[in-house]
């Protein structure tokens, strides 16, 4: 069985810190804005104080080293025994998601974040709250940016069905929010996208770019799942949200979170169709990033990591690999595109 030490020897731009976590292996200077991060108090769970000390971050989203493959999006090998059929598999999948959120909430502290920023040469994190119908975490995100304005920039998040969504978004922009983040499924919306479209229109009116989680897992085949499980796995596929852009102005600034994971080629299609759209690269591979550069250029690609769900280092190492022969593309993806989009 391969060890982490053996693994990083084969992967350029990656090494391990003293705790055995992946960090960047790069000697030169880098200027980096991480466009996709969270913190311990911006998720729809019980709030953990980000000032907490000694909380361990385990990166439960990351596949174990024997099942890791950085040549594909989401970095997970496809295995023939990865079957997800029956109600039990749905319950297990939901439980695993809850465990991941708990680890992010526990480990997404200032202490862990500042350490990761330092080890990976990150200048600034864009903090993305995830709000639900019950919990609006926008104010927590704004407080983080207010407490450390040189380290963080805040987005806000309001559920589309919130009756006060317009008033809240206007208020949050006044308080310093730079955009709108949402993680939502067609199942939650019950295939009624009117509230989401209206939320997008409000964001357009007030000048907010919108970032949504998009894409489905790459290492699970339809034939290995039940109909219910497949519907759940496909509930954030790129096509759902990409087609909504038909109902928005052509200069609406929409960001495909995770570049659609395994659906990055479809993301490229939408980027060609809608010139004001962007894509964020967390959990992409070197090859998929190169594909996006070749298809749509580098001016609308944004480096993101999804920390603390995933290490900041791995997508960063993929960007460095994909831009070895194009220093300008590297600079734009790592910082300049984010600066221009958010005017920071």
Task: Summarize pLDDT for 142-165 with one digit per residue, the tens.
Answer: 999 999 999 999 999 999 999 999
The pLDDT score that the predictor gives to residue 332 is: 98
Q: Among 8-12, 90-94, 168-172, which stretch is predicted with the lowest mean pLDDT?
A: 90-94
Domains assigned to the chain: 4-342 (3.20.20.140)
Cα separation, 125 vs 241, whole angstroms: 25
181-195, 217-231, 233-247, 322-336: which is most confident: 322-336
Which ranges of the chain does DSSP label H, i.e. alpha helix? 4-9, 87-107, 110-119, 138-147, 165-174, 186-189, 194-206, 227-233, 238-242, 264-273, 286-296, 312-322, 327-331, 337-342
Is 325's pLDDT higher than 60?
yes
Q: Which tops the pLDDT comparison, 283 or 81?
A: 283
The pLDDT score that the predictor gives to residue 83 is: 57
The pLDDT score that the predictor gives to residue 84 is: 62
The pLDDT score that the predictor gives to residue 311 is: 98
Q: Among 29-33, 233-237, 247-251, which stretch is predicted with the lowest mean pLDDT?
A: 233-237
Sign of CA dihedral 49, 50, 55, 57: positive
Is 301's pLDDT higher than 60?
yes
Question: 10-59 pLDDT, tens per residue?
Answer: 999 999 999 999 999 999 999 999 999 999 999 988 899 999 999 999 99
Asked if 246 contacts 193 with a C-beta cutoff of 8 angstroms, the reply is: no
Rounding to the nearest 10 degrees, give the CA dihedral for residues 85, 90, 93, 94.
180
């Amino acid at each position: 069985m391969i060890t982490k030490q053996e693994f990083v020897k084969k992967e350029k731009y990656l090494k391990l810190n003293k705790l055995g976590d992946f960090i960047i292996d790069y000697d030169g200077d880098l200027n980096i804005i991480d466009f996709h991060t969270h913190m311990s108090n911006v998720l729809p769970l019980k709030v953990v104080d980000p000032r907490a000390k000694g909380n361990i971050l385990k990166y439960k989203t990351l596949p174990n080293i024997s099942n890791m493959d950085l040549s594909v999006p989401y970095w997970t090998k496809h295995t023939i025994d990865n079957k997800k059929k029956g109600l039990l598999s749905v319950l297990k999948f939901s439980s695993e998601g809850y465990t991941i959120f708990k680890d992010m909430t526990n480990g997404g502290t200032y202490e862990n974040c500042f350490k990761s920023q330092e080890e990976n040469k990150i200048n600034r994190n864009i903090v993305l709250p995830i709000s639900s119908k019950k919990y609006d975490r926008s104010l927590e995100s704004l407080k983080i940016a207010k407490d450390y304005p040189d380290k963080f920039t805040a987005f806000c998040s309001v559920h589309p069905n919130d009756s006060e969504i317009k008033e809240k978004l206007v208020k949050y922009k006044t308080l310093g929010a730079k955009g709108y983040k949402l993680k939502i499924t067609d199942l939650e919306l019950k295939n009624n996208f009117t509230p989401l479209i209206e939320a997008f229109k409000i964001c357009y009116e007030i000048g907010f770019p919108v970032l949504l989680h998009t894409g489905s897992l790459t290492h699970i085949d339809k034939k290995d799942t039940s109909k219910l499980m497949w519907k759940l796995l496909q509930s954030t596929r790129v096509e759902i949200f990409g087609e909504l852009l038909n109902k928005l102005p052509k200069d609406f600034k929409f960001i495909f979170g995770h570049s659609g994971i395994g659906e990055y080629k479809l993301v490229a299609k939408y980027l060609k169709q809608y010139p004001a759209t962007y894509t964020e690269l967390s959990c992409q591979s070197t090859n998929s990033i190169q594909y996006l550069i070749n298809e749509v250029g580098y001016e609308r690609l944004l480096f993101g990591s999804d920390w603390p769900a995933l290490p900041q280092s791995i997508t960063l190492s993929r960007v460095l690999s994909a831009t070895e022969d194009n220093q300008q593309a590297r600079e734009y993806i790592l910082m300049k595109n984010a600066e221009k989009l958010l005017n920071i």
